[in-house]
Structure 1
């Protein structure tokens, strides 16, 4: 009988791997070229959908629950839990808005007025396994101010919107994947009042630790080892981790392991026992309990369902 061989580690960075594991598909729903005052109400998203808003020019505010986020050029807002929210501006008179259909997405305009706001509104559709885990441990609202390279990417997006043609949909999808990667790797100073596990990837200390766990989920990741890898004391590591992520070390390690496990199971190439071992579980029973707690189903059923969806 042929023996399972250890899975080969992929030569990639942690952000790239997380985005790939989540099996994301980004789309622009509407571009808003508006002036004056307006209110755009967005209902709660369907399961598997994460709305986003990207400001290229002008200013507006995104509100969700008790949160009100003022947005400027280069700002991105993600709503990882798909909560209902509102985009609004209060400067100037309230003017009518028209909708123009487009090759890839619609455009909302204020007819007869010079646009004061250039806003892209869209969503990410994600895999219900690894993708659900990725966004579940983010806060309900993530606000990031893009740096100069990311703003260049946004300008390319605007260029495609101005002159759509063959391949525009594929180009926009690739640009949105890159945009999310830039949000995930953003530095703490780019994320006003936002703490969350995955947005800690840009932290100089925690980023190294998260990258190691993503790359080698099957190893024994104790707090002492993580602190040693981060080159800080155990107490310093725990304080920094709690402040930056808003969750626990155990939750981080388990979430990453379950993301990798969901990806491996969805391929249908390896046994549940093999996958359990690859992500650090020597007991298939313990792995099954952790997987069910994270995703609401057994590893075997998840594997069958994923293979059937192909």
Structure 2
């Protein structure tokens, strides 16, 4: 199993669609701060929007996905030449549907003349990912505040794992079809498609900086990730990582920091804590056994590293993961 697939499975993230917005004209969706263990996302299939965050505005184009790992409160502004009228929100089965007086499903894709001079409706899916206490939070903490990717950018020679038109087209068609029919099982299908979207987003696209480490096209990060996941108990040193990449120590550190935004030691600790959190929530192994499995001879040293990385102690994390819900 490749490193990205293993990390996503370790995190045990679950996605769901909350809202679908089909609105022709200016409209604003207010999104309050997400709860603990939640990260909102937006997938824009057609139209144009602006994401407003504290002190920042991001242009969102058709084919873009935005993930907010910190769950910060934000607004999504639907662009249009005139304000949308008659906007209503109603239950549509597994999600809420927001439409206006002029937006109908078969109007999507018409040009301005065919649409009577009106704005063509946006098709925006809004949802969230959830995770229980443990590895999911560690993974989310390793991501930037905003993950903004274009899933319609086509493949890139330097990033062979990137998604593209051939991926988003069928995926968006499935999402629209399930949303429109609302047949039995539609919610499960949409949730599964959200999981696919997350993997595509975390693959990254060129220029995203810290997101790229999850599926780096450069061997330097991928080699380190696979080595640590394969043998987390090994006494890894920067010099050894550099040798694995046939680099000098200084060159390796420079490349690694540019791709991840982290120094190798911090990255190593986070990967180990992700694995430790998985063991603590999935097994009954004593903390000392978990510590040794991820490279710590001292249970106290492991506990300090775990608290610094997760903000919790191993014992409290284990109790929280097993508490009745």
Q: What TM-score bracket applies, with the shorter chain setting the length?
A: 0.7 to 0.9
Task: Please show how residues 141-152 of structure 1 align to structure 2 within 5 Å.
Answer: 141-146=146-151, 147-151=164-168, 152=170
Find the aligned partners of 2:266 and 2:234 in 1 and give their Cα distance.
16
Q: Which residue of 2 aligns with 1:62?
A: 51
- On the 8 A contact 2:133/2:320 being kept in 1, the answer is no
Alignment CA distance shift 1:91-1:137 (3 Å): same
Report the Cα offset of residue 19 of structure 1.
1.5
The match for 2:84 is 95
Distance 1:95 1:148 in 2: 30
C-alpha distance in structure 1 between counterparts of 2:20 and 2:230, whole Å? 37
State whether structure 2 residue 133 is matched by structure 1 residue 128.
yes
Shift of 1:55: 0.8
TM-score, normalised by the number of residues in structure 2: 0.84
1:171 corresponds, among 172, 189, 192, to 189
SS in 1 for 2:271: helix
Unpaired segments ≥5 residues, structure 1: 1-11
Question: Hey, what does 1:106 align to over in structure 2?
Answer: 96
Structure 2 spans left out of the alignment, 5+ residues: 108-119, 152-163
- Please state if 1:36 is matched with 2:25: yes
- Aligned-pair RMSD on alpha carbons? 1.9
In structure 2, distance between residues paired with 1:165 and 1:281? 51
Between 1:276-285 and 1:59-68, the stretch displaced more is: 59-68
Residues 1:275 and 2:290 aligned together: yes
Number of residues paired by the alignment? 294
Matched residue, 1:195:
209
TM-score (norm 1): 0.88
Corresponding residue for residue 15 of structure 2: 26
* CA drift at 1:39: 1.6
Q: What is the Cα deviation at residue 309 of structure 1? A: 4.0
Query: Is the 8 Å Cα contact of residues 268 and 307 (structure 1) preserved in structure 2?
Result: no
Deviation at 1:227, TM superposition (A): 2.2
Verify: 1:224 aligned to 2:224, yes or no: no
8 Å CA contact 1:14–1:210 kept in 2: the answer is: yes
- The runs of at least 4 consecutive aligned structure 1 residues that moved more than 4 Å come to none
Q: Give distance in 2, aligned partners of 1:230 and 1:32.
A: 47
Question: Aligned partners of 1:148, 1:212: CA distance in 2, in Å?
Answer: 33
User: Measured at CA, do residues 308 and 46 of structure 1 come closer, stay the same or move farther in structure 2, by a change above 3 Å?
Assistant: closer
* TM-aligned CA deviation for residue 95 of structure 1: 1.5
